[in-house]
Homo-oligomer: A and B are copies of this chain.
């Protein structure tokens, strides 16, 4: 039924930047040198794929805590590269499908990529793609094996592919041999106080006096969590203050902020 499933998949060719934009709901702001460094290195890999003779396939894994910005980073590379085929493979579009249907969808994306001279494939949240759960642990070996083979299989001659994976479960990926199947791995960190301050300055919801202590309170958190905490604080203790805050009329009460 895998073969069958394979044929049912509707071909979806071309780089749909719409989907990629959706991966950055809070936009991209400057959040420190460590994020910027990984961004530069990954862009270099995209260039290497373009000019390489000996490596038609380069694979790169972005790993780090949940909310640290892995998916947003991968989407950004996909958007900034000028590759004709950019595709994100995500569990969101495969809810409830059988393992073999999921495999077929994944294989389909690679087969489509092989038709383009240059492609980027994003394997988003690999642990979710392989239905990982820590108890057991359980996961889909069918999908794992498929990824293990696809991450090694050379594209046809003249076609070059960059695969970017993201994961919050590096240890698990190590154990099943998926980490070592990638050529390079980069760690996306949480923010330090300095990084957090940069993000808060951009958001303009704290008074200048409060921004340092707020940044201090938010250090070691992933960027996505920082956005969520700030938004909760912006509601105010009794609700209803969000509009005034975001329009710049008010600032967040630092004491209420510490309660959140």
* A residues at B contact (CB < 8 Å): 2-3, 6, 22, 25-26, 43-44, 47-48, 51-56, 66, 91-92, 95-98, 100, 103-104, 107, 128, 131, 133-135, 137-139, 141-142, 144-146, 148-150, 152-154, 175-177, 180, 183, 227-228, 231-232, 235, 239-240, 242-243, 246
Contact = CB atoms under 8 A, between A and B. Distances in A.
Contacts of A235: 44, 47-48, 51
Given A48-B232, A107-B96, A242-B48, A22 B149 contact: no
Contact of A176 (B51, B107, B135, B239): B135
29 contacts: A2-B97, A2-B98, A25-B54, A25-B154, A44-B239, A48-B231, A48-B242, A51-B235, A51-B242, A52-B242, A54-B227, A55-B228, A66-B180, A91-B145, A91-B149, A92-B149, A92-B152, A92-B153, A95-B146, A95-B149, A95-B150, A95-B153, A96-B107, A96-B146, A128-B148, A131-B145, A133-B141, A134-B175, A134-B176
A54 B231 contact: yes
Contacts of A150: 95
Given A25-B56, A47-B235, 7 more contacts: A26-B54, A43-B239, A44-B239, A91-B149, A92-B149, A96-B103, A131-B145
B133 A51 contact: no
A40 to B, nearest CB: 9
Copies in the complex: 6
Contacts of A231: 48, 52, 54-55
A146 B94 CA distance: 9
A2 B96 contact: yes
User: What are the nearest 5 A-B pairs in CB distance?
Assistant: A2-B96, A47-B239, A96-B103, A92-B153, A91-B149
